[in-house]
Amino acid sequence: MGEESSRDAVLAGVRRANAGRPAEEGGRVPWPPPPQSGIALVDLFVARAEAAQACVLVVSGFAEARQRVADILAKAAVSQTVVSDDAWCSPWDMSQLSQEHRSRPENHSRSGFGDVIASATCGGGSVTRMAKASGAGMTCAAYGIADSGTIVVCSGEAGGRVESLLPPLHLALLQATDIVPGLPELLAALHGDARFEKSSAVTFITGPSRTADIELTLTIGVHGPKQLFVVIVAQGGSRA
């Protein structure tokens, strides 16, 4: 069977399969898609991220975000956490994490978590060594993609790369205002915010690291973190 006849046979099969469908099912997908509300985008992101085995927490503000982060680290008994510079500073202010956790009365009788270290205090290759030795890494996510539950980490002077890849637990901080519906909107945002020019790497992360390279057996955490937590501050809606 020649190339043209093979193509005709495939297309004929597609036409036969679509013959019984209502017209609206076989029609074109509207583009651009209708806008979604900020709440709908957050809900979709949470559903898709959790389907990819990420743990997602939605909070109302940055102070509550720090509380939830401290609870995650304490429950995981993390001995050391390395934090990218953009998460360390305002508006996330993870520099206050340990002090605020100790000041909460309900934590006085509980075990806490270990050192929380800013990448800015490490020089050169010591950031990589610190991340390898840490039980958790914390970064800001520049964007979230609702369609797939993906976070996008833009690495640069503020860090982000080694903190999100080397420790076994990755804690990503995301603002609802930075959640976009899909890939086209993400690419527009990346270009509009000049992220490609400012970043040394743009990393897409969907759930914990997974691979099936060895005997097609799915394994978690071989090439990256075994656990992914995403903390979303919901104030302010979304980019949609």
Where residue 202 sits, what CATH number does that domain have?
A: 3.40.50.10420
Range of the domain at 48: 34-233
Whether residue 26 lies inside any domain: the answer is no
Tens of pLDDT along 126-162? 888 999 999 999 999 999 999 999 999 999 888 888 9
pLDDT of residue 153: 96
**Does the pLDDT value for residue 115 go beyond 70?**
yes
Whether residue 168 lies inside any domain: the answer is yes
Higher-pLDDT residue of 35, 235: 235
**Cα–Cα distance, 169 to 174 (Å, whole number):** 16
Q: How many domains is the chain partitioned into structurally?
A: 1
Whether residue 218 lies inside any domain: the answer is yes
Higher-pLDDT residue of 120, 57: 57
pLDDT of residue 127: 85
Whether residue 12 lies inside any domain: the answer is no
Whether residue 61 lies inside any domain: the answer is yes
Q: Considering the chain, what is the average pLDDT of its residues?
A: 86
Exposed/middle/buried for residue 111 (C-beta within 10 Å: 0-12, 13-18, 19+): exposed
pLDDT of residue 33: 66
Across the range 184-207, mean pLDDT stands at: 94
- pLDDT range class, residue 3, cuts 50, 70, 90: low
Whether residue 133 lies inside any domain: the answer is yes
- What is the number of alpha carbons within 13 Å of residue 181 lying toward its C-beta? 11
Across the range 84-90, mean pLDDT stands at: 92
**Does the pLDDT value for residue 107 go beyond 70?**
no
CA 43 vs. chain centroid, Å, equals: 14
* pTM beyond cutoff 0.85: no
pLDDT of residue 211: 83
Whether residue 19 lies inside any domain: the answer is no
